[in-house]
Structure 1
Amino acid sequence: MKLSKPSNALVVVGGWNRYIFTQDWIKRYLFPEEEFKIDMLVSQDFNAQFISPRILSKEVEILFQENRLNFNPVENNNENLDRIQEIALQLADYLPHTPVTGYGANFLFTENEINDDLINLIRPRDLEKIEQFGGLLTGEQYNRNLVLNGRILNTIIRLEEESVDFDLNFHFNIRNLVEFKAGISETSILELKQEAIQFITEIYSLELEGEDE
């Protein structure tokens, strides 16, 4: 099993003012000693209302999507996840009055060697009766909403013919950026990553390949 490069490794949901993030502001507050570039991503209908700035450094991608501020590592390693958390905490300090409602950390695992034991563990028991009833299985995706160690964990398992994806989302409800800072400082992105790894490896008896320290 491999840990895939996450899409939206960290997401903070709120009323972000994308117009604050000018070249000068980013240079002054986020990347004073680093090279970066800003791209403007336009919606397919070319509606200016949905132009989304994307900030890209050598370590981190920051992307605005409606009311979501998304952070992605350029390379999938622990150092870049740490850098994402550092930048997010800086933004919470520089823009403390931004209204926010939640944040989440996302991790995607892919297993390319599936066997009957794994399939039977994932697949619900009603499938055989559904097929007997005349139902034809055309796709398998299983969503679960859990509470794990006092935290909300949403899981999506996509079972394909030759692979299975485990998409894990840790979700946190917050009322302000003070609560965001407290929450992510108490349980870091890397700690959530390790919790996600433990969840997948212990429940589904899989081994993680190529994990960096």
Structure 2
Amino acid sequence: MAESQPESEPHSQVRPQTHVNTSVSSAAREVEEFLAAGGWDQPVQLFALVATDELLAKQPDLREQLDPRNPLTPVAQDQLPESDLAEALAGIVWPDTVHGCALAQEIIVLPPEAEQDLPDSGEDADGSEAGATPDAERLRRAAADHPHRTEARLVAAVTRDGARACVMRLRAQQRSGDRPGDQHSADEEPLDLPVDEVIEHPDLAPNLLDALEATLYP
């Protein structure tokens, strides 16, 4: 994971015709694991996906931080505004040095039977914000207050050759009545700590993936 931003170059007006193995799934997992190490309650974050060999050629001092076996390296960008993510993405155009991009956001996930109780919205079923209608804020409030909600972190990634990947981490539910830092007496039976569940599927957030893909082609 690199934190410096790639140098700007003239934008290409033509989509590349050569298919390149960009390992977008590996890049999406790397982004999610990087963010997971920092815990929850993080803002929306955007990453450029750049060729690792090209990045090392320009910045050899990063050699000890990067794995040259990974074709793509995520590069963290400036923080995006959370108020209107779709508008922010619509204003982004990447330089040619960027082979793809990834976005991470924390969302609320509901079971299918709970979604029928929510107001209609143009959002993805996962609650991601890109392409949302004016009713999106009302939907998010309703989902956040739902008793069967699950907090999650979604990472969506795309590349110029059309590859897509999504990784979603579902936040583990605490035992009823427990609070962070609670201590239990020695005679209580030990309980397994809750473990996050991680799901991977390229179609978890089609609207968000479409919005990210649009940033790659001016």
TM, length-normalised to structure 1: 0.29
**Is the strand fraction higher in 1 or 2?**
1
